[in-house]
């Protein structure tokens, strides 16, 4: 005698007549079982009661599977269903690789809609592309086209449907079809459907005809309504002519059983243009003619890309070259190419330590640098002041017409300090539970100069570990210590502490147990 287990979400066994496949159970779908209650975790609590020919239907008074989870003994009062079959096929036997039309049917009143779930699927008969399917009150059936796999020998896949709905009284019901075997026979091949449509769109799905360089467009494709993607899906290859119009491959997949791609192919337009470039974007599934769309790639919007300092470490009183770099050359059509450059006060001293011609304000100063037409960079001379100990300033560049900004750090050393640099950073203890403190020790390659050596400190995560902005090695000394403090709660497994002086950096890590 066939037995099976049926329980609710907390493992309490059902009692009464139960529709297999409608609840949390491993009973055969579509058949009615006689079940007994018992202690939570009871197995084999149901035995086959009635073999239904079409389907089984849950009773209006059944304990819902997701409700009353504390119920010690959920109750079912189900029976065979003798109306139209909930799941039918256009054929019950086909050559593997063929398409089969499936139909879910519910003639019982259902409001506001019924949900059709396709069950028993395998790699040979894949799940629905976009489950579930819906049956609205004025609709009794819904059909879909199902791909099948190529097989080396005959194979039968037992499929069934679970249709959930509220009846005319508002009670929740489940209609479960008996398993419907679909036999796949050898000898077929996987179809390769041709594309029915192709488009290149923006992020909102609106087709585009132009795209600024450096930005993204998205490739979409659809297959004919009668031929969804076969088992394994359909790969759509996207190319552009000329090939350098886009720097990424916009190819995409259409999943098995689907008529269009759910994840768009991304096409990133080249950012190196100085004039418009007309391109043809084409897509093919490997069958039929390729489909194309014309897209004009325009030069990217002018933007600040980087700031470089040559050299990036100087002795106070020396000069250096600062360079503002843009993402492309300045065109005659650009409204402006004037960049605002700001040099901060000394990170440690707070004093004005660097400036350039036309840079006004104190201790930080701001000035402008114009990038000439036809160029993508402009340089300017930065002069520095003498310092008693190592300090740092930030040179930042931005513009109202640029959606990006950039910066670089300048290290200014005291005179006579060229021979001393940072040689090591030691932290002890190096691990512990959140909330512990550690001592860090910095060591120079030689004695600190007059006025001392200010070693800059930083933490990779100030939320997890904090260190002072700097620690000073006294004049004539080679070492100095500081305290690293960790927070009461840790959101990282480790934090990196960095020390910088004399053009050299050292790192060490704090680990959390």
Measured on CA atoms in the order 285, 289, 290, 291, is the torsion positive or negative?
Answer: negative
CA gap 116, 133 in Å, rounded:
5
Q: Give pLDDT < 50 ranges for the chain.
A: 417-418
pTM of the model: 0.69
What tokens were used for 139? 């609709």
CA gap 509, 513 in Å, rounded:
13
Does residue 16 sit in helix, strand or coil?
A: strand
Query: What pLDDT sits at residue 420?
Result: 78
Give me the architecture of the 422-512 domain, per CATH.
Sandwich (2.60)
Query: What pLDDT sits at residue 67?
Result: 57
Domain boundaries, the chain: 3-81, 87-185, 197-298, 304-413, 422-512
Give the position of tokens 């500081």.
482
Domain 304-413 has CATH 2.60.40.10: yes
CA gap 249, 236 in Å, rounded:
11
What tokens were used for 114? 């019924």
Give the distance from CA 188 to its chain's centroid. 38
Cis peptide before 181 (omega within 30 of 0): no
Question: What is the topology classification, in CATH, of domain 87-185?
Answer: Immunoglobulin-like (2.60.40)
Residue pair 205/117 in contact (Cβ under 8 Å)? The answer is no
Query: What pLDDT sits at residue 264?
Result: 95
Domain 197-298 has CATH 2.60.40.2950: yes
Assign residue 168 a region: left if phi > 0, alpha if psi is -120 to 50, beta otherwise?
alpha
- What mean pLDDT is reported for the chain? 93
Query: What pLDDT sits at residue 172?
Result: 93
Measured on CA atoms in the order 57, 60, 65, 70, is the torsion positive or negative?
Answer: negative
Query: What pLDDT sits at residue 419?
Result: 63
Question: What's the N-to-C CA distance of the chain in angstroms?
Answer: 56
Give the distance from CA 11 to its chain's centroid. 36
Query: What pLDDT sits at residue 149?
Result: 98
CA dihedral 429, 433, 434, 440 (to 10 degrees): 0
Label each residue of 352-413 as H, E or C: CCEEECCCECCCCEEEEEECCECCCEEEEEEEECCCCCCEEEEEEEECCCCCCCEEEEEEEE
CA gap 210, 213 in Å, rounded:
10
Asked if domains 197-298 and 304-413 share a fold, the reply is yes
One DSSP character per residue, 117-148 reads EEES--SSSPPPSS--EEE-TT--EEEEEEE-
What tokens were used for 363? 């201790």
């Amino acid at each position: 005698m066939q037995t099976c287990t049926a329980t609710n979400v907390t493992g309490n066994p059902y009692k009464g007549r139960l529709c297999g496949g409608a609840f949390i159970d491993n009973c055969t779908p579509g058949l009615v079982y006689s079940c007994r209650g018992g202690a939570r975790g009871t197995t084999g609590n149901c035995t086959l009661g009635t073999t239904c020919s079409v389907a089984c239907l849950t009773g209006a008074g059944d304990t819902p599977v997701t409700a009353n989870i504390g119920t010690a003994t959920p109750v079912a009062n189900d029976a065979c269903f003798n109306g139209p079959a909930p799941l039918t096929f256009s054929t019950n036997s086909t050559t593997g690789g063929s398409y089969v039309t499936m139909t879910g049917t519910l003639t019982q009143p259902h409001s506001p809609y019924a949900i059709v779930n396709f069950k028993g699927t395998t790699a040979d008969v894949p799940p629905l592309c976009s489950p579930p399917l819906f049956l609205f009150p004025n609709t009794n059936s819904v059909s879909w086209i199902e791909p099948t796999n190529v097989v080396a020998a005959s194979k039968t896949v037992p499929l069934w449907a679970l249709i959930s709905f509220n009846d005319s009284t508002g009670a929740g019901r489940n209609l479960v079809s008996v398993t419907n075997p679909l036999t796949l026979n050898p000898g077929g091949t996987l179809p390769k459907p041709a594309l029915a449509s192709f488009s290149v769109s923006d992020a909102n799905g609106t087709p585009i005809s132009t795209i600024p360089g450096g930005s993204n467009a998205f490739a979409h494709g659809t297959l004919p309504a009668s031929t969804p993607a076969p088992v394994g899906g359909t790969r759509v290859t996207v190319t552009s002519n000329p090939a350098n119009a886009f720097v990424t491959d916009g190819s995409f997949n259409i999943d098995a059983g689907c008529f269009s791609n759910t994840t768009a192919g991304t096409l990133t337009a080249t950012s190196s243009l100085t004039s418009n470039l007309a391109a043809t974007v084409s897509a093919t599934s490997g069958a039929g003619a390729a489909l194309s769309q014309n897209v004009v790639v325009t030069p990217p919007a002018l933007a600040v890309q980087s700031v470089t300092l040559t050299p990036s470490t100087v002795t106070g009183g020396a000069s250096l070259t600062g360079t503002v770099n843009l993402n492309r050359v300045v065109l005659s059509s650009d409204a402006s190419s004037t960049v605002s450059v700001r040099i901060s006060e000394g990170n440690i001293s707070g004093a004005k330590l660097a400036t350039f011609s036309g840079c006004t304000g104190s201790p930080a100063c701001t000035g402008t640098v114009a990038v000439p037409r036809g160029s993508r960079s402009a340089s300017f001379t930065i002069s520095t002041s003498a310092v008693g100990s190592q300090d740092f300033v930030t040179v930042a560049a931005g513009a109202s017409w640029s959606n990006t900004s950039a910066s670089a750090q300048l290290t200014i050393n005291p005179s006579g300090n060229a021979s001393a640099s940072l040689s090591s950073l030691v932290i002890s203890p190096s691990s512990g539970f959140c909330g512990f403190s550690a001592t860090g020790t910095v060591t120079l390659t030689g004695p600190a100069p007059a006025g001392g050596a200010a070693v800059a400190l930083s933490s990779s995560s100030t939320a997890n570990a904090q260190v002072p902005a700097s620690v000073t090695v006294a004049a004539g000394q080679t070492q100095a210590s500081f305290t690293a403090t960790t927070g009461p709660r840790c959101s990282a497994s480790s934090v990196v502490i960095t020390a910088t002086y004399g053009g050299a950096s050292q790192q060490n890590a704090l680990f959390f147990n």
